Structure 1
Amino acid sequence: MTALPWSATMIAPDEEFGGAPLLRKEFSLADDHGDAVTATLHATSFGIFEAFLNGSRVGDEVLAPGWSSYEWRLRYRSYDVTGLLQPDNVLGAALGNGWYRGNLSWNGNSAFYGKELGFFGQLEIEYADGFVQTVSSDLSWQSGPAATIKNDLYNGQTIDARSAGDTWAGLDWDPTEWRGVHALEFDTARLAEPIGPPVVRNEVIKPVHVFTSPSGKTIVDFGQNLVGWVRFTVQGQRGAVIILRHAEVLEDGELGVRPLRTAQATDTLILSGGQDFFEPTFTFHGFRYAEVTGWPDDLTADAVEAVVVHSALERTGHFECSNELVNQLHKNIVWGLKGNFLDLPTDCPQRNERLGWTGDIAVFAPTAAYLYDVKDFLQDWLLDLAAEQTAADGLVPFTVPDILKYEEHPKEFPAPESTALWSEAAVWVPWALWEAHGDPAVLSRQYGSMSAHTRRVEGLLSENGLWDQGFQFGDWLDPDAAPDQPWNSKADNGVVATACLYRTARITAETASLLGYDQDAQHFASLAQRVRAAFNIHYIGTDGTIASDCTTVYALALAFNVLDSEEKRIFAGNRLSELVAKNDYRVSTGFAGTPFVTWALSESGHVADAYRLLLEEQCPSWLYPVTMGATTVWERWDSMLPDGTINPGEMTSFNHYALGAVADWLHKVVGGIRPLEPGYAKVLYAPRPGQGIDWAKTSLATPHGLVASEWHLTTDGEFKYTLTVPDGVAAEIDLPSTPRQTVEAGTHTFTTTGLVPAGDPK
């Protein structure tokens, strides 16, 4: 059933009503057409909305319609409301500021997309005789105040329970004191049916501890850094106020709020005197701890609960091994994904930022596509990327949606131009989805965006064929950089950018070939060859050393296959091994190098080094945050210092998934499952065991069935391996000490000997 042609009007309340207006419309079912057979509500808003029919909430979605590039794509949702119909009805909507009008980014600005909230709804009721009755948002609707008197995604929500309850959405409500509505200018051509899943309540977590801080504050510990809100039922004196402040960590036993910067992350409830249910659904917080003041009695763990909110995603991939620290790291990566996949892939969910930074998802997409079915989720976001890119003459912005184009850029980030790794999201993300799902429609839909980005960067090259001019984030957050200089990395920006472009040009060429754009394929293949030649001529010394001679440049050169001879590859692998060992196996890479350094080591014959790098516990390392009690991946390797104080840098998040891209290596090298053909139509089983992990198992629900792999390494060097191949899938196995071979569908077990015995790599 389609909502076209649209008859609805985008309507706004005649008064502000505290930034959270209620809208309602009474109507009766049509006569003489038989029973109502189906009823579908199509709805969206300027801001966020919750729809109601006869007092019942419509659907289970929250924060609808989410955040898209509103200038070009305003998504609507469709809800089956047949079961809520009555002879006489009330259709209602509650509005909040959301991303449309609330605070966004770090400058304290708001209302980037418009000054007024609006609702656009069209209810279509089909009767037994085929007649369709349409009830649309128009000037006959009424508007009034809600119990919510303040709402903002960054700052929180205030609810006055003394105000109107849910009865406003029913027929018993007297709306004589309500006001009218007026129409807003709106082009229905912007309406887009969503591809991605809705944001929903996914799970509920009870506190693990309630305690009193050194300053006498009551703090609730939920045991997990999560994204969502706290809800509860409470009764107390009328007019009394309960306040909840949220934070990810403690510092000196108190709530660590400095990393939030200006985000207040505070929810407030004013009690009615009766029993009040409190759930602030017009905001969200990234937090593990909640500081509660004003609770009527002693607060106990069974009185409150945390609601985990993110896009509705199906889990597909799993990993587990003998090392519990690695298992916790993997859990942290999963929780980082969940917290930041809230309608779009954000960098962090807690401070005054929460933006769709392109660089983070560019490197994390393969990990995300293994852990969850993110195909539709990321395809929807890629449509926004393409829309922003088209409006910017092919430029892929730093963030999508791009509100930074309306902001004054920090001095560190001049007027943006295509930027290595970040802008590469236009190419790398759809390619990751292609490899995971094997659906050419993903590439076809995004090909214009992919090719436009690649052509634009081609135009930025110096005469020598290098991408060595203009601003670059480079190896952002190099652990050796000062806390206030995250851009100051050891890796030469031109080396990083040129290596990234080579990978991009190769992918774009292969995409063009797959889609039958032969002329483009030849052009981009030629570009890749030219960039590779320039890299090898200008960045590699006569002794094989790569310019800036640091871990990241060797990792990228090897992982992207930029080096044009086996001799250079061998040297680079050996030099990478030397550098990793010289640094005592502590991580020395930032955003660019980290996702690829273990890959570069293992693929160049240095598996043992990759394991030692993974398993190092001293800072900086993947396991250092785990030893410090982290339950999500941090933005900085040392977001919290060993003494328990928070990193002094202004930019410090405890929930940033980018450095968790190492899970791709865990799944495919330690676990041993790799696609030989897109979508896992053909699978390579090639686990590479190493000291410090005695066994590992991983599984993946592919489009062709469940793929599974499990191995055990004994103290005498015996390697036992079991794999499962789905029906109709071709499979090859490449095990240590055995020839590569093909296997049929089913479960198979192999045993080999002569490997390095299990045990502590140190």
Structure 2
Amino acid sequence: MNITKLKTNRITNPLGFSMGRRPRLSYVVTGTDGRKQTAARYEVAQDTSFSSVVFDSGKRTDIDSLSFELPIQLMPRTRYYWRVEVWADNGDHALSETAWFETAKLDEPWEAKWIVPDMDKEHHPVLGRTFKLTGAVTSARAYICGLGLYEMQINGIKAGDEYFAPHFNAYHKWLQYQTYDVTQLLCEGDNQVQVSLGNGLYKGRFGFDGHSKELYGSEFALLCEIRVTYADGTTEILKSDTEWTAERSRVMSGNLYDGEIFDATLTASESYTVHEGDLGFERLKPRMSLPVVVKEELKPIEVIQTPAGETVLDMGQNMVGWIRFRTRAPKGTIIRLQHGEVLQEGNFYRENLRTAKAEYVYTADGEEAMVRPFFTFYGFRYVKVEGWPGELDPNDFTGCVLYSDMDQTGSFETSDPLVNRLFLNALWGQKGNFLDVPTDCPQRDERMGWTGDAQVFSGAACFNMDAYTFYSKYGYDMYQEQVDREGMVPMVVPAVNVPSGGSSAWADAATIVPWNVYLHYGDKAILEQQYESMKSWADFIIRADEGSGGKRLWTVGFQFGDWLSLDGSNPESSMGGTDQDFIASAYYCYSTRLVAKAAKVLGLEDDASYYGQISGEVRQAIEDEFFSKTGRLALDTQTAYAIALKMDLAPETYRKRLVDGLVNRLRKDHNHLKTGFVGTPYLNFALSDNGCEELGYTLLLNDDYPSWLYAVKLGATTIWERWNSIDTDGKIGNPGMNSLNHYAFGAIAEWMYRVIAGINPSEDAPGFRRVVLAPKPDFRLRWAKAKLESAAGTYMSEWAFDEEGRLEFRFDIPFHSTALVRLPRAAAAVLSISGPAPDAPAIEEGEDMLLELESGSYVIRYMPSRSYLKTLSTYTPLAVLAENEQACELIAPFIPPGFVLNPDSLYSMIRDTSLRELAAYYPIDSSILDELDRKLKEIE
């Protein structure tokens, strides 16, 4: 029996993080045949030997491995060690390894001062000083905040492995400071500390219009306090003050959009004084942001000599970060790297980056050097290299992939390599856009935390990675912005200089994201932190409704609509063809429902009742306004049907008509996507939740425009902003708003986990303590498998068909967890079950069989009661045959005159008719039909 993944606030051994109200401890148990935890015990001490214990829970039966709130008063700058002991129902018992967390300064006053360099504010400074330590150092911590961005070196060595500290947030509301363990960087005797400062979004070019600067401040500033403990127990504090000096950095200029210019030949010849800054200390808060680190490294897959004579590195993957390169260039050599996402006619291209230069310019000093940027990052696959002396060796270049330090928790794979690439594209979209803020795109002059993108992808994000801490910081920042806006949520967070906000689907990130986080991790602390944010957003909508007549509909204010859908009547508009009042009112209903659910979890019964009542009234108003008395939806778009079904906006008696309406709408759209940012995350769920998963698979597996696999077949390695960001001829569309790394449509990954693999968390036991395992196979995929390292432990769900169509399922259910397993088309089938409960009772429900299983590994085999094999024949509807090129060739000679085998004629006239049925009117010899059946059956 092993106890693993010991985390504090979902972080492994956090140093200097905000602890929230109190630290929350969690763990995962593996390596036991036990099914349940019977008891656990936490011990917390201030030493590794646990001789100075500050908390002992004792052996208790009520400790939950998902989250245990530690009831102690924390001391500043203190490391706490903790371990957990667990007992299982089979007698197994284990004691964990020791984990720790260390507090920041908390409420302790700062002895350091903010300092500002007395030099041209356009010049990047390096602030520093030398100091002497009088003895052997046993412990040292640096508490530091630098604006806009900073990197600290002590004795020439970088402190920590993170970049872009103090990270990106609403600086006018709060400032994060970081804590570094610098013990090993210091020595007895002379030492030197240097802190380089960069612009970042604090004072550099950034924002909604792409051209503003000094959005939060106009001066570089530093606050630094280094606390040293000697071997004899005495302490010394080195603090930023006017004794520090400044010099010009070799970073000559730069910002997040344009890149960076670095001159290695520059020798700082002038020293500048510093003066005390007036930023104050009220905004300072221990860090909430996860470190941004180099998570992966890539090597170029090819060096391309383009038709235009350019030298271009192909990294093989649209990535975010920078190129690190080794150079031996002669002094004065200028090397320029330019970054782009795509080639055009074989040549380097970056017009879709708009005004962002996205380049790195390096002037060599003649020494061999390993080079990388300091205060910028790029979104790119291709790198044009200029000025490289001699022959370029690709081994000298490394792509450093940067994103917030989140553990990958989910994986997914099928028999179809295109689907696998689509999943990876969504995963890489998350890697590229989860750099401290969930940005919309990482490459052009934008890179902002659009709330709509963050909201629609949040479910997929929590499957892919442990995103609890990442979203906790984003949610905190969101509420800071709401406070000044009477609850309204800006369209981006941090809000920088955005003109407005409050659009449905975008602003509803305030309710949907924290609820998804709670559902995935089972820690209600996220709801406690975000409840006022959730509630104030709901209240904002309610006030907007009541101010416009109180119809319990949301019909006022700016709306993005179904952004970038393909069904709008105006080709110049990006807002789609679905009525915006309907979309807004749907989210009005949904968000107030989520606030009611959150209130119930937190024990706020009056709020739960109030917001639940509001949600019900909105639902009724939607029914009255947008539905006929017989259940017909007045809006005939894929998105309207999808959100009506997924958000449960109509009585159950209307459901069949809604489903039929969606199926018919898709038929008119030739079973291809028309949805935008709002409809796409819900469309496949609306189908699979209502018995139409085969149609959902069709949408997934389409590989022509518009579809997910269209981009994959054109070589995409991330998700595109538009369904047709690139045309079939390889030409990129309008570069004005055309990102090739824009993850919103990658929300389909959540459907892959939940429907194809069938792993579904339960609201009644969140954090995957209980799940519904309900895979919905399709023979067009011969197998599929997913693995999820959830907060409760590792789930595995796998299924495969054999040649005869038999199904085999493999499930892993972690310790102290349960699963309701729904086996499709298993009614009346003979089940073969191996595992801890081979005789588990099965309950029939329609075509399915339900099993209640506890932790363990299971293999279940059976022949489906209704075959998944789809053999073509003369009895198959012509619309299905028309989708298969081989079948079309076989039956074309027998189609009656006047009919054409294309969707336009078939969908409107004879799509559901078979060739056998047509033979009753247009005689075809039965022997010919039998021969056609033989040939059609052979088509795979």
Query: Which residues in structure 2 correspond to 1:521-540 (within 5 Å)?
Result: 521-540=608-627
**Which digits, 9 at most, give the CA deviation of each residue in 1:397-437, with x for residues without a partner?**
000000124xxx4xxxxxx3521011101100000100000
Say if 2:121 and 2:218, in contact at 8 Å, map to a contact too.
no
> What corresponds to 1:298 in structure 2?
391
Q: 2:868 aligns with which of 736, 752, 757?
A: 757
Say if 1:248 and 1:288, in contact at 8 Å, map to a contact too.
yes
Q: 1:742 aligns with which of 852, 870, 894?
A: 852
The amino acid across from 1:367 in the alignment is A
Cα deviation for residue 274 of structure 1 reads: 2.7
> What corresponds to 2:508 in structure 1?
424
Say if 2:123 and 2:249, in contact at 8 Å, map to a contact too.
no
Say if 2:225 and 2:238, in contact at 8 Å, map to a contact too.
yes
Answer yes or no: is 1:472 the counterpart of 2:547. Answer: no
The amino acid across from 1:710 in the alignment is E
- Structure 1 unaligned residues grouped into runs of 5+: 165-174, 410-415
Range 70-79 or range 535-544, more displaced: 535-544
Answer yes or no: is 1:370 the counterpart of 2:481. Answer: no
Say if 2:344 and 2:730, in contact at 8 Å, map to a contact too.
yes
The amino acid across from 1:606 in the alignment is C
TM-score, normalised relative to structure 1: 0.95
**Which digits, 9 at most, give the CA deviation of each residue in 1:236-284, with x for residues without a partner?**
2322211111001111112221110000001101121232332112110
Say if 1:732 and 1:740, in contact at 8 Å, map to a contact too.
yes
The amino acid across from 1:576 in the alignment is L
> What corresponds to 1:627 in structure 2?
713
Query: Which residues in structure 2 correspond to 1:517-666 (within 5 Å)?
Result: 517-564=604-651, 566-648=652-734, 650-666=736-752
**Which digits, 9 at most, give the CA deviation of each residue in 1:685-733, with x for residues without a partner?**
1000124211111111122211111001234321111101112112110
Say if 2:520 and 2:768, in contact at 8 Å, map to a contact too.
yes
> What corresponds to 1:38 in structure 2?
139
> What corresponds to 1:55 in structure 2?
156
Q: 2:419 aligns with which of 317, 320, 326?
A: 326
Residue 150 of structure 1 aligns to a residue whose secondary structure is strand
Say if 1:315 and 1:371, in contact at 8 Å, map to a contact too.
yes
How many Å separate the matches in 2 of 1:91 and 1:698?
48
How many Å separate the matches in 1 of 2:595 and 2:248?
53
> What corresponds to 1:94 in structure 2?
196
How many Å separate the matches in 1 of 2:390 and 2:669?
54
**Which digits, 9 at most, give the CA deviation of each residue in 1:717-761, with x for residues without a partner?**
211111011121121100112321201211111123234435799
How many Å separate the matches in 1 of 2:542 and 2:574?
24
- Structure 2 unaligned residues grouped into runs of 5+: 1-76, 78-103, 827-848, 872-879, 884-940
How many Å separate the matches in 1 of 2:363 and 2:251?
10
Say if 2:425 and 2:716, in contact at 8 Å, map to a contact too.
yes
Residue 815 of structure 2 aligns to a residue whose secondary structure is coil
How many Å separate the matches in 1 of 2:440 and 2:799?
35
CA gap of 1:519–1:678, structure 2 versus 1, over 3 A, is same
Range 703-712 or range 102-111, more displaced: 102-111
Query: Which residues in structure 2 correspond to 1:49-128 (within 5 Å)?
Result: 49-86=150-187, 87-105=189-207, 106-128=209-231
> What corresponds to 2:542 in structure 1?
458
**Which digits, 9 at most, give the CA deviation of each residue in 1:136-181, with x for residues without a partner?**
11111010012111111110111111124xxxxxxxxxx8831111
Q: 2:784 aligns with which of 696, 704, 707?
A: 696
Answer yes or no: is 1:727 the counterpart of 2:815. Answer: yes
Cα deviation for residue 129 of structure 1 reads: 4.4
Say if 1:478 and 1:486, in contact at 8 Å, map to a contact too.
no
The amino acid across from 2:153 in the alignment is F
How many Å separate the matches in 2 of 1:185 and 1:325?
56
How many Å separate the matches in 2 of 1:143 and 1:339?
34
The amino acid across from 2:525 in the alignment is A
The amino acid across from 1:630 in the alignment is A
Residue 321 of structure 2 aligns to a residue whose secondary structure is strand
How many Å separate the matches in 1 of 2:170 and 2:676?
29
> What corresponds to 1:381 in structure 2?
474
The amino acid across from 1:692 in the alignment is R
Say if 2:687 and 2:693, in contact at 8 Å, map to a contact too.
yes
Structure 1 outlier segments of 4+, above 4 Å: 481-484, 758-762
How many Å separate the matches in 2 of 1:305 and 1:342?
19
Query: Which residues in structure 2 correspond to 1:190-269 (within 5 Å)?
Result: 190-269=283-362
Cα deviation for residue 630 of structure 1 reads: 0.2
Answer yes or no: is 1:137 the counterpart of 2:240. Answer: yes
Cα deviation for residue 198 of structure 1 reads: 0.5
> What corresponds to 2:588 in structure 1?
501
How many Å separate the matches in 2 of 1:17 and 1:318?
47
Say if 2:460 and 2:750, in contact at 8 Å, map to a contact too.
yes
Cα deviation for residue 483 of structure 1 reads: 9.9
Query: Which residues in structure 2 correspond to 1:143-158 (within 5 Å)?
Result: 143-158=246-261
How many Å separate the matches in 1 of 2:867 and 2:749?
23
Say if 2:553 and 2:588, in contact at 8 Å, map to a contact too.
no
Q: 1:668 aligns with which of 754, 767, 771?
A: 754
**Which digits, 9 at most, give the CA deviation of each residue in 1:551-579, with x for residues without a partner?**
00000010111112x22111111111121
Residue 76 of structure 1 aligns to a residue whose secondary structure is strand
TM-score, normalised relative to structure 2: 0.77
Answer yes or no: is 1:683 the counterpart of 2:786. Answer: no
If you compute each CA radius of gyration, which structure gives the higher value, 1 or 2? 2
Aligned positions, number? 739
The amino acid across from 1:472 in the alignment is Q
How many Å separate the matches in 1 of 2:566 and 2:166?
38
**Which digits, 9 at most, give the CA deviation of each residue in 1:378-412, with x for residues without a partner?**
1011110010001211111000000124xxx4xxx
The amino acid across from 2:511 in the alignment is V
Cα deviation for residue 226 of structure 1 reads: 0.2
How many Å separate the matches in 2 of 1:492 and 1:563?
17
Say if 2:167 and 2:289, in contact at 8 Å, map to a contact too.
no
How many Å separate the matches in 2 of 1:758 and 1:239?
68
Cα deviation for residue 235 of structure 1 reads: 2.1
Residue 146 of structure 2 aligns to a residue whose secondary structure is strand
**Which digits, 9 at most, give the CA deviation of each residue in 1:10-33, with x for residues without a partner?**
212111375321111111124xxx
Taking only the aligned residue pairs, the percentage that are identical comes to 36
Cα deviation for residue 38 of structure 1 reads: 0.9
> What corresponds to 1:413 in structure 2?
none
Residue 188 of structure 1 aligns to a residue whose secondary structure is coil
The amino acid across from 1:592 in the alignment is V
How many Å separate the matches in 2 of 1:176 and 1:424?
54
Say if 1:435 and 1:678, in contact at 8 Å, map to a contact too.
yes
How many Å separate the matches in 2 of 1:429 and 1:758?
39
CA gap of 1:631–1:517, structure 2 versus 1, over 3 A, is same
CA gap of 1:612–1:548, structure 2 versus 1, over 3 A, is same
Answer yes or no: is 1:354 the counterpart of 2:447. Answer: yes
How many Å separate the matches in 1 of 2:152 and 2:418?
44
How many Å separate the matches in 1 of 2:109 and 2:211?
39
Say if 1:329 and 1:622, in contact at 8 Å, map to a contact too.
yes
Answer yes or no: is 1:159 the counterpart of 2:262. Answer: yes
Say if 2:313 and 2:384, in contact at 8 Å, map to a contact too.
yes
Say if 2:265 and 2:363, in contact at 8 Å, map to a contact too.
yes
The amino acid across from 1:120 in the alignment is L
**Which digits, 9 at most, give the CA deviation of each residue in 1:318-346, with x for residues without a partner?**
11111110000000011000000001100
Say if 2:756 and 2:784, in contact at 8 Å, map to a contact too.
yes
How many Å separate the matches in 2 of 1:498 and 1:349?
32
Cα deviation for residue 186 of structure 1 reads: 1.2
Residue 816 of structure 2 aligns to a residue whose secondary structure is coil
CA gap of 1:482–1:557, structure 2 versus 1, over 3 A, is closer
Answer yes or no: is 1:445 the counterpart of 2:529. Answer: yes
The amino acid across from 2:261 in the alignment is T
